[in-house]
Structure 1
Amino acid sequence: MKHWKRLLSCVLAGSVALALAACGQQSAGGSSAGNQSTSQSTDQSREEVSSAAQSSAGSGADASGTESGAGSGSVLVVYYSATGNTETVANYIAEATGGDIFEITPAEPYTSDDLNWTDENSRVSREHEDESLRDVELTTTQVENWDSYDTVFIGYPIWWGIAAWPVDGFVEANDFTGKTVIPFCTSSSSGLGESGELLAELAASGDWQEGQRFRSSVSQEDVNEWVDSLGLSAE
């Protein structure tokens, strides 16, 4: 009898041990599954954050691209000045637009005597009478980064109702395709006349706009008002 009780006790103890082991394994398995679920959730969250960051970065790049494409582009102010009046206006325009400056310079500069139009033997008088003499050699017609400019102002004094001919060589030597070209001139009494139209014909390229004539003693305020009217003010 005692033998059977002892045997029954061993069997019960073994059953309890097996049951406890099974519970432990289930508990461990549950913990592992929980960890796996948590890990998957964490990875998913990271992927979502990464995707959102990439989307945000992409949106920023698009916005930046749009902003970089806005505006009127670079401005260049080209001028020939015989006595300094056109140079003054050109500097006013460059300051108002934030543009760059390029001076047209004859290889043989005009002296005061050369510019004496009342003397029929002066250089300008002879060039006026003989068009073949108007092919004025320039020190250079090449502008650095020419292709980067979208808007080009062309300034000159008026000689006998037209643009001073040193400007012709520069206009003929450059391609204005894709550029907005705005002529301006200075004179004591003469108007712009057909000077801008004649230069446009020489260029045979570019979108030439109606020009503006300024008196020799024009104020910076007047020039700024004109630039503002064109929508090209840097401010």
Structure 2
Amino acid sequence: MMSDILVAYFSATGTTARVAEKLGALLGADLYRIVPEVPYTGADLNWHDAHSRSSIETKDPEARPAISGGIKDISSYKKVFIGFPIWWYREPKIIDTFLESEDFHGKEIIPFATSGASPLGKTAQYMRELVKDAVVKEGKRLTPRMTDAELKDWASSCL
């Protein structure tokens, strides 16, 4: 069944995937997992290491990690929830790859992120710069501990 709502997500450790799957089920939305061509290892995700892959990508404005596969057709979606872990108060660069790889003209993008405590920072602003012909909402930091009712209330407020 094709919905007019898509929940696209990148999950490095499974946390964002759990939230995205729950969100998709509550909204009756289609799901799309953004999979890196080269998977991230635990060492790649070590934010304490300035030489880790995630640290290097975050500091490089031109970094665009390749995505394995792609979404078949994004044209029928009106709203796209995009989920990811927060890396240094912003979206991981693989989200930038996704945003630049698809046509978001006229769509509404609602970012959501998972994080122990870090806020979204200027994520929506960075995303707006990449998809100027879409409406990018401010989004929200979500946690796996949110109840279905809390998650549905937030998602409904975005529709």
Q: TM-score when scaled to structure 1?
A: 0.62
Give distance in 2, aligned partners of 1:122 and 1:178: 36
Structure 1 gaps of 5+ residues are 1-72
CA contact (8 A) 1:187 1:216 kept: no
Map 1:1-235; keep pairs closer than 5 Å: 74-132=4-62, 134-140=63-69, 142-215=70-143, 217-230=145-158, 232=159
CA radius of gyration, larger in:
1
Give distance in 1, aligned partners of 2:144 and 2:26: 19
SS of equivalent to 2:78: strand
Q: Tell me how far 1:183 sits from its aligned partner.
A: 0.9
Which residue type is aligned with residue 148 of structure 1?
Answer: S
Give distance in 2, aligned partners of 1:185 and 1:127: 18
Which residue type is aligned with residue 126 of structure 1?
Answer: I
SS of equivalent to 1:181: strand
Q: Which has the higher relative contact order, 1 or 2, with Cα contacts under 8 A spaced 6 or more apart?
A: 2
Structure 2 gaps of 5+ residues are none
SS of equivalent to 1:200: helix
SS of equivalent to 2:31: strand
Quote the sequence identity (%).
Answer: 38
SS of equivalent to 2:81: strand
Give distance in 2, aligned partners of 1:207 and 1:130: 25
CA contact (8 A) 1:74 1:151 kept: yes
SS of equivalent to 2:155: helix
Alignment: residue pair count: 157
Give distance in 1, aligned partners of 2:45 and 2:146: 21
Give distance in 1, aligned partners of 2:150 and 2:111: 16
CA contact (8 A) 1:76 1:100 kept: yes
Q: Tell me how far 1:131 sits from its aligned partner.
A: 4.0
Give distance in 2, aligned partners of 1:203 and 1:179: 10
- Please state which structure has a larger fraction of its residues in helix: 1
- Give the 3 Å change call, closer, same or farther, for CA 149–129 of structure 1 in structure 2: closer
What's the Cα RMSD here? 1.7
Q: Tell me how far 1:105 sits from its aligned partner.
A: 0.8
